[in-house]
């Protein structure tokens, strides 16, 4: 009886609300866990006598947990053996618990990093599974749908900064716990929605899947030129993206933007720069229908790389207005290529391998972010805003790796 009632609720939800909208909202709430500590970075720095590099280590701990989680899910085949919705719900609930533990029990960088690491493991069941759920509901609209999903991830990543503005007089621990509450709501939404009707049958098997087949399948996906090219573009994008997101409040603070432009202080301006990424993702999704996802991905990656260069050249002499506009454009383009690269990767491998293939791509991509975040925050302490030069390496390498796919698509369109 309970199962029948649950199925009925899911049917009603799917009929009255777009499944992509439900998944996107869940992604928004669930990924607020990602940068919850960064939203309270100033308070944590004072309370723990931490440095910018220490805050970078807290972010890197999340990335490391995410890497381990996605790697285990991919190699073991968990991502394709169990229901994506079940993995998402369990991950969201556990992530909420570990995030609350960070707020309530962590007292210094080491204990804080352990809690953040556990949050990262849980995020491995939220972000990739969110992408897989989108494919299971609207496989014919993968590019635009993933653009909406990543837009929500972007806003979710910046949400702690907005929560900080709203609760500026509250203890930083409550701001972080608010992210845990949102993660619980994310789990409830996906529990009510469930898996889509286009979920590959192979992903629902648990006993029939031969041992070790998931690992071999992932290797087979990597051998495909289109998947490999999209993955290389994604890796270059990842070098830049999370290092930029980590540095945004530091860039805003060091450039004194908050002193000249009153929009909620450092936290408020940081949120607007994050939110610009959501606009970029949606615009990229719309544009991909007209010119194709490959061109959108390459264009966004090239533009964000140009923003790196312009920021490094302009920050000394340009006024607050031009710098803010540049950061907003950078924030919009730095993530607009992400859903397109993921959609291209999903299309380049068999449907039954989407979960494992995206998980391994995420795992490698986030391993790269650990290096770039640590290097960028350490360099920031030495050279300040000139650390932007380090980020441009990502777009250059990504465009070089993605070029063969772009050229093949151009020949096909002719």
**Four-CA torsion 302, 304, 310, 313, nearest 10 degrees:** -110
- Percent of all residues in the chain with a pLDDT value above 90, rounded to a whole number: 43
Dump pLDDT digits (tens) for 352-381: 677 777 778 888 898 898 899 999 999 998
More confident residue, 135 or 186: 186
Supply the pLDDT for residue 7.
57
More confident residue, 210 or 103: 103
Supply the pLDDT for residue 222.
73
Delimit the domains of the chain by residue range: 2-197+212-413
Supply the pLDDT for residue 168.
66
Supply the pLDDT for residue 371.
93
Supply the pLDDT for residue 363.
82
Dump pLDDT digits (tens) for 207-234: 444 444 444 456 666 778 888 899 999 9
Dump pLDDT digits (tens) for 292-331: 889 999 999 999 999 999 999 999 888 889 999 999 999 9
Q: How far is CA 109 from CA 43, 115, 128, 142, 339, in A?
A: 13, 10, 28, 40, 33
Whether the pLDDT of residue 342 is over 80: the answer is: yes
Whether the pLDDT of residue 204 is over 80: the answer is: no
Q: How far is CA 147 from CA 35, 276, 326, in A?
A: 20, 13, 22
Supply the pLDDT for residue 3.
53
**Answer CATH for 2-197+212-413 from 3.40.50.300, 1.10.10.410, 3.10.20.520, 1.20.1250.20:** 1.20.1250.20
Residue 263 near residue 165, CB atoms below 8 Å: no
């Amino acid at each position: 009886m309970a199962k029948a009632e649950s199925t009925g609720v899911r049917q009603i939800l799917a009929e009255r609300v777009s499944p992509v909208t439900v998944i996107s909202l869940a992604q928004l709430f669930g990924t607020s866990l990602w940068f919850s500590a960064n939203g309270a970075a100033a308070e944590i720095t004072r309370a723990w006598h931490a440095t910018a590099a220490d805050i970078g280590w807290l972010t890197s701990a999340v990335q490391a947990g995410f890497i381990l989680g996605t790697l285990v899910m991919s190699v073991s085949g968990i991502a394709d053996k169990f229901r994506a919705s079940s993995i998402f719900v369990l991950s969201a609930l556990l992530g909420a618990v570990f995030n609350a533990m960070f707020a309530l029990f962590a007292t210094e960088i080491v204990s804080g990093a352990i809690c953040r690491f556990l949050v990262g493991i849980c995020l491995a069941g939220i972000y990739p599974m969110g992408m897989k759920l989108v494919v299971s509901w609207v496989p014919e609209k993968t590019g635009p749908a993933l653009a909406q999903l990543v837009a929500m991830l972007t806003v979710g990543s910046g949400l702690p900064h907005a929560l900080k503005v709203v609760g500026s007089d509250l203890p930083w621990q409550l701001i972080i716990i608010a992210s845990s509450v949102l993660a619980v709501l994310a789990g409830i939404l996906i529990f009510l929605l469930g898996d889509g009707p286009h979920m590959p049958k192979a992903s629902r098997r648990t006993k029939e899947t031969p041992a070790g087949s998931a690992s071999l399948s992932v290797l087979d996906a990597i051998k495909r030129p289109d998947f490999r090219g999209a993955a290389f573009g994604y890796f270059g994008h990842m070098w830049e993206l999370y290092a930029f997101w980590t540095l945004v409040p530091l860039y805003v603070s060091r450039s004194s933007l908050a002193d000249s432009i009153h929009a909620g202080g450092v936290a408020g301006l940081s949120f607007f720069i994050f939110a610009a990424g959501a606009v970029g993702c949606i615009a990229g999704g719309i544009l991909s229908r007209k010119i194709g996802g490959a061109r959108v991905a390459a264009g966004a990656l090239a533009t964000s790389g140009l923003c790196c260069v312009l920021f490094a050249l302009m920050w000394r002499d340009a006024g607050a207005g031009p710098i803010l506009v540049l950061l907003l454009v950078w924030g919009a383009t730095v993530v607009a290529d992400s859903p397109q690269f993921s959609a291209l990767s999903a299309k380049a491998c068999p449907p039954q391998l989407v979960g494992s293939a995206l998980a391994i791509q995420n795992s490698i991509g986030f391993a790269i972010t650990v290096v770039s975040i640590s290097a960028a925050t350490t360099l920031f302490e030495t050279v300040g805003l000139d650390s932007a030069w380090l980020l441009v390496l990502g777009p250059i390498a990504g465009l070089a790796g993605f070029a063969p796919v772009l050229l093949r698509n151009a020949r096909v369109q002719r």
